[in-house]
Amino acid sequence: MSWLVFLAPFVVIGALTVVFAFSGGTRRRGRRLRRARASGTGGGTGTALKVGVTVLALGLGLAVPAAVIASRSAGLGRSSELADQDLSPQLRDGKVLFGQNCASCHSLAASNARGATGPDLDQLGRVSEERVLNAIKNGGTGDLRMPAGLLEEEQAKAVSAYVSAVAGR
89 and 140 co-located in one domain: yes
Tell me 79's DSSP state: S
What is the value of pTM for the model shown? Answer: 0.52
pLDDT at 87: 77
What is the C-alpha separation between 37 and 66, in angstroms, rounded? 43
Confidence (pLDDT) at 74 = 44
Residue 85 sits in the same domain as residue 159: yes
Q: Is residue 103 classed as helix, strand or coil in its secondary structure?
A: coil
Domain residues for the domain of 70 are 2-75
- pLDDT tens-place string over residues 7-58: 788 878 877 776 776 666 566 566 666 676 666 655 555 667 767 777 777 7
- Helix, strand, or coil (residue 17): helix
58-90: per-residue pLDDT in tens? 777 777 777 776 665 444 444 455 555 677 888
- C-alpha 141/C-alpha 87 separation (Å) is 28
Look at residues 40, 75, 110 and tell me which one is the last residue of a structural domain. Answer: 75
Cβ-proximal residues to 139 (8 Å cutoff; 6+ apart), any chain: 145, 146, 147, 148, 149, 150
Question: Residue 37 has what pLDDT?
Answer: 67
